[in-house]
Amino acid sequence: MIHVEGIGKRYRLGRTIRHDTLRDAIMDRLRVGADRGRRSRSAAREEFWALRDVSFDVAEGEVVGVIGRNGAGKSTLLKILSRITPPTEGRIRLRGRVASLLEVGTGFHPELSGRENIYMNGAILGMRRDEIRSKFDEIVAFAEVERFLDTPVKRYSSGMYVRLAFAVAAHLEPEILVVDEVLAVGDAEFQKKALGKMSRVVGEGRTVVFVSHNMPAVNRLCRNAVLLEGGRVERHGPVGEVVPAYLRSNRRGTGRRAWEDLDRSPGDDVVRLREIRVHDAAGRAAENFNATDAIGITLRYDVLEDGAVFTHGFNLFNENGLHVFSSHDVVSPIREEPRLRGSYTATVWVPGNLLAEGFFTGGVALFRPQPFVIHLHDVDSIAFTVTDRVDGTSARGHFSGGFPGIVRPLLQWETSKC
């Protein structure tokens, strides 16, 4: 269904100089001066390749995940597949109608009602009017906005807005669907619902190209994956091989992260993350632990306004992208108390004899449970490795063979003669 052969996309950095008429040339020279004009031309000649020599095929009914770090070229590739921008070199063959879901809410008009925006947005996304009409009730029910259907969307909450936008886009029925990080919309309940909808789309035999930083979703939806690194294909193959390779590539320097510039740190106007680190029981920074060791994760953050009420959350994933566990602070009294402005630290402990050996990544969140508001969500905050020595002190005992499982608890056994 999709054949990508030697695709490359080049951009020119700096101000582009284009003189269509003699008047344009004269005015440009008067505006910037001869020397500055030469510098601008030099900058305009500087090239940046967002993609280079990218090739892969996608069979009919196949779901391919496109993964990689920020800036790897994922969104550029999807824009080329969606025919939003042409490639500089190479060629693409697409067999069938293509629909793109690159940015939830594109085409919504704030002055129009939810009803009107469903028809307009559906048309922009390539749906026929009779197709929209036949799916109208299903779209409204999925978005859960029945009461506000004739209200201008500018009065919608941000959650209602993204729910309706996703609902319209998710009910497209093309042969090829190009999707960019759409499962990161709405609250946790709606994200679960969105993932279920995408699973049904996959089950209907559509050909899907799916970009996401959510490795569990990639594992669940995709059979194969393409790993992009620096605009090139680093790896292409079964998702069970590509996702671990991507996660392992993030191992370096991830035991501690810090942000000196407050404006660039994760967070919002209420709270900003300043540092997160992994350490041992003595407080020493570490990235490698024995299976019997307790592992501490400490975050330091700044509260920027008095009266903020929120709690802490931590999510842990293994090297295959599987969600090992989530932990929220539901015990300490401070989680329900209004904070004063200032700097705070919070520490959570992963007890020894809990994790199996392997590579783990963790993310933190600061959020208000009721009503649910996320102030800070940093997905790949830290990473560490757990090894299990064959010394008899862990659940492995003295067994030296393969020992499966995501967790490795040291459980109490009782034996008696019958």
Co-location of 269 and 373 in the same domain:
yes
- List all residues 6 or more positions away from 263 whose beta carbon is below 8 Å from its beta carbon: none
Q: Print the domain residue range for 377.
A: 256-387
> Is this model's pTM higher than 0.85 or not?
no
15: helix, strand or coil: coil
Co-location of 266 and 317 in the same domain:
yes
State the Cα–Cα distance between residues 178 and 4, nearest whole angstrom: 14
Co-location of 79 and 219 in the same domain:
yes
Whether residue 340 is contained in a domain is answered as yes
227, β-bridge pairs: 67, 235
Residue-level pLDDT at 48: 86
Residue-level pLDDT at 372: 82
Co-location of 163 and 100 in the same domain:
yes
Counted domains in the chain: 3
State the Cα–Cα distance between residues 286 and 289, nearest whole angstrom: 8
Q: What is the pLDDT of residues 401-418, one digit of tens each?
A: 668 888 999 998 898 999
State the Cα–Cα distance between residues 41 and 39, nearest whole angstrom: 5
346, β-bridge pairs: 299
Q: Which of 194, 220, 248 lies at the terminal end of a domain, its last residue?
A: 248
Co-location of 168 and 67 in the same domain:
yes
Co-location of 95 and 140 in the same domain:
yes
Give the domain CATH number at 108: 3.40.50.300
Residue 396 exposure: Cα atoms within 13 Å on the Cβ side? 23
Whether residue 397 is contained in a domain is answered as no
Whether residue 158 is contained in a domain is answered as yes
Whether residue 392 is contained in a domain is answered as no
Q: What is the pLDDT of residues 253-301, one digit of tens each?
A: 478 888 888 888 888 889 999 999 999 999 998 888 889 999 999 999 9
Co-location of 117 and 237 in the same domain:
yes
Q: Are 25 and 41 in contact (CB under 8 A)?
A: no
Co-location of 38 and 86 in the same domain:
no
Q: How many residues in the chain?
A: 418
Q: Which of 22-36, 176-190, 210-224, 236-250 has the lowest mean pLDDT?
A: 22-36
Co-location of 174 and 270 in the same domain:
no
For helices 129-143 and 114-124, give the axis angle rounded to 10 degrees.
130
Whether residue 412 is contained in a domain is answered as no
State the Cα–Cα distance between residues 61 and 390, nearest whole angstrom: 46
Phi, psi of 35, deg, nearest 5: -65, -45
List % helix, strand, coil for the chain (3-state, nearest 5): 30, 35, 40
DSSP code for 230: T
Residue-level pLDDT at 346: 93
Whether residue 179 is contained in a domain is answered as yes
Q: Rounded to 10 degrees, what is the CA torsion of 42, 80, 169, 226?
A: -110
313, β-bridge pairs: 328, 365
Co-location of 361 and 263 in the same domain:
yes
Q: What is the pLDDT of residues 101-130, one digit of tens each?
A: 776 666 688 899 999 999 988 888 778 889
Whether residue 415 is contained in a domain is answered as no
Whether residue 169 is contained in a domain is answered as yes
Q: Which of 182, 216, 248 lies at the terminal end of a domain, its last residue?
A: 248
> In whole angstroms, how far apart are CA 158 and each of 19, 30, 155, 227, 269?
43, 47, 9, 32, 17
State the Cα–Cα distance between residues 123 and 125, nearest whole angstrom: 5
State the Cα–Cα distance between residues 342 and 68, nearest whole angstrom: 36
Q: What is the pLDDT of residues 62-98, one digit of tens each?
A: 889 999 887 889 989 988 998 888 999 999 999 987 8
